[in-house]
A and B are shown apart, each in its own frame.
Chain A
Amino acid sequence: MKFGIVINEGPYTHQASDSALQFVKAALHKGHEIFRVFFYHDGVNNGTSLGVPPQDDRNLTLEWSGLAEKHGLDLVVCVAAAQRRGVLDEDEMGRHGKSANNLAPGFRISGLGQLIEAGIQADRLVTFGD
């Protein structure tokens, strides 16, 4: 079955990103397809490569990047939510005249159309948040 996943909460806030990660791992393990993971609202903070959690803690951004690399996941960060929170890729950095970019590997910035498409294309859309 095809899953769309929505994450509305940043890492290390409550548990949304952790729950979504465990859910996605279990779904992949069971042979399901993850059509897309859409990071919205504070969820875009999962996509910053500049987080440095303590070494004995989990690194959620690295976990998502690793999972994306291993399983070809499409990790989409909402552009408007990301701009507000300072999550930029190289294009957005140039477009807004900023001095740095921080989008982690495996993530891409796009718009709400990607969420709508996930809702249409996926058999199930599961939302994790606050």
Chain B
Amino acid sequence: MATLHTVNKSPFERNALESCLRLAKAGSAVLLFEDGVIGAMRNTRFSDKVTQAMNDFSIYVLGPDIQARGLDNDKVIDGIQVVDYNGFVDLTTEHDTVQSWL
């Protein structure tokens, strides 16, 4: 029973991403979107934590929300997969449930 967790806030604004990575069951997937895409960027004080979390989770980030913020896909942490809205829909169908960390 695999869950897709969605995180839509920057880790600098709320602790949703940290809570999610701390509490979610290994084998889950995490999608970062809206301001949550900040958590997918290299060289922030959260980058190491996110990199380490990839031992337990598949992490995805929504490309259109990276571009909407003037950020660069090339600065996404290695191993995080960039998806578009079609990919977002596919992630929800490929997992059994969707948990939004609001």
User: Taking beta carbons and an 8 Å cutoff, which residues of A are in contact with B?
Assistant: 1, 3, 8, 14-16, 19, 22-23, 25-27, 29-30, 32, 123-130
A90 to chain B, nearest CB (A): 33
Q: A8-B102, A19-B34 are in contact. Are A26 and B97 (CB under 8 A)?
A: no
| A-side interface mostly | mixed
User: Taking beta carbons and an 8 Å cutoff, which residues of B are in contact with A?
Assistant: 6, 8, 33-35, 64-65, 84-86, 88-90, 92-93, 97-98, 100, 102
Question: Out of A14, A16, A26, which one reaches B85, CB within 8 Å?
Answer: A26
B35 to chain A, nearest CB (A): 8
A73 to chain B, nearest CB (A): 16
Which chain A residue has the least Cβ–Cβ distance from B98? A126
Count CB-based A-B contacts (< 8 Å).
51
Docked complex Cα distance between A126 and B92 (Å): 8
Which residues of chain A are near B64, meaning CB under 8 Å? 22
Which chain B residue has the least Cβ–Cβ distance from A123? B93
Which residues of chain B are near A124, meaning CB under 8 Å? 92-93, 97-98
For the complex of A and B, the 3 pairs showing the least CB-CB separation, nearest first, are A26-B85, A127-B100, A129-B102
Question: Cβ of B85 and Cβ of A22 under 8 Å apart?
Answer: yes
8 interchain pairs (CB within 8 A)?
Answer: A1-B93, A3-B92, A15-B35, A25-B85, A26-B89, A32-B93, A124-B98, A127-B98
Question: Cβ of B33 and Cβ of A19 under 8 Å apart?
Answer: yes
Docked complex Cα distance between A30 and B93 (Å): 11
